[in-house]
Amino acid sequence: VQTAAPAAAPRPTTSTRPAEPVRSAPVPAAEADEVERAPAAITTTTTSLSVTGSVVTVTGPRQVYSVKSGDTLSSIARRFDMSVSDLADDNKLDADKTLRLGQKIKGPATSAKAYVAQGGDTLTAIAKRFNVTPKALAAENDLKVAATLKKGQKIRLPDGFRDKGPIKTTTTTTRPAPSSGSDAPATGTAERPALTPPAPVPYTPAPRPVTPPVNSYPRPSAPVAAQPVTPSAPTRPIIESSAAPTEAEIIASGRGKFAWPLQGEIISDFGIKGTGQRNDGLNIRAAAGTSVLSAADGEVAYAGNQVPSFGNLVLVKHADGWVTAYAHLGSSDVKMRQQVVKGQQLGTVGATGGVTEPQLHFEMRFAPTAKDKARPVDPNLVLPK
């Protein structure tokens, strides 16, 4: 069991700026019995590159020399490999006057190497590529270690740096071999693969639809990319019991148990959008490399990148039927079946999957019993204000 000091991130702020295209899809809960009878696993290794900018030469600070006994403007000019007249002009000096001991004489400008920042780069990541400390890199550029960098910004490199090249991040994921036979769950319509731990497994269409009972929850039917909200064809019964909890009861059961996974700017809120699309969670903008924390204690039900539009994705199964999802991660720090605690780092913010800027897609889902499919719940109604 990994441990980490529980740290609830403050609530993100809401922005009215144009958001990324809504990336919304069902994220079902993981049932332990389905994990146990998973077929032989197939391992996939994916390598991504970051901090891919180039190194250029920039103008550095001017050389400075302190006058010592016996120095003349001519001797200092020879030291700097420049003419006496140029040295005198640069320092506004009279070439015939005697220099004072300790007087500061400015020489020619120096040159230095700088890294050209790319979208999503951080000083910490750049420091890792060039084998220097983030503190030294920040001091060289008169910046704070946590400063946000702009694309194209030139970051001067400290003396002694060593370029190790773009950072490679390798993610290894495991998924079951394609299953066939009667164990595949049936559904009345052909839909996208559903995430059933230990990895996404496509559902097999049934020969005919089965009408759900009146009190059943509608099964989430959004594809990986957002789709218009259109009633789907009847599917098999999802909830067998007749006493389904109300939305108010579901929200009440989650309050006080969860914390925000990070602090950032909400660029796409939960629910139906004006374009006829819907978002089953929240999209939160944050700098690449920002820590993404577990919203509550639980077990990692899935960690991988088998759903392309979600990129690197982690699902955490919590007590009492709750599941949280963390998508578009730049990197993942956990593995399946791993126990995590509230506030523990699951990974870092990235721009993997179907987005163009660093952000976290966060979902909360609830299933009353192990037989039910999880339904999306607005995190704004459950998380601390």
Same fold, 13-51+206-382 and 55-168: no
CA 149 → CA 26, 48, 136, 145, 324, distances in Å?
Answer: 34, 21, 16, 10, 30
- Please write the tens of the pLDDT for every residue from 219-255: 333 333 333 333 333 333 333 344 678 888 888 889 8
- Please write the tens of the pLDDT for every residue from 115-126: 999 988 999 999
Name the CATH code of domain 13-51+206-382 (choices 2.70.70.10, 2.60.120.10, 3.20.20.70, 3.40.1010.20). Answer: 2.70.70.10
The per-residue pLDDT for 137 is: 94
Beta-strand pair 298-304/278-279: unpaired
What's the rounded mean pLDDT across residues 148-165? Answer: 92
C-alpha dihedral sign at 240, 175, 358, 23: negative
CB atoms within 10 A of CB 285: 22
The per-residue pLDDT for 192 is: 41
C-alpha dihedral sign at 347, 353, 354, 355: positive
Q: Which numeric CATH code is attached to 55-168?
A: 3.10.350.10
Q: Which amino acid is at 259?
A: A
Q: Where are the domains of the chain?
A: 13-51+206-382, 55-168
- Please write the tens of the pLDDT for every residue from 68-99: 998 998 899 998 888 888 889 889 888 788 89
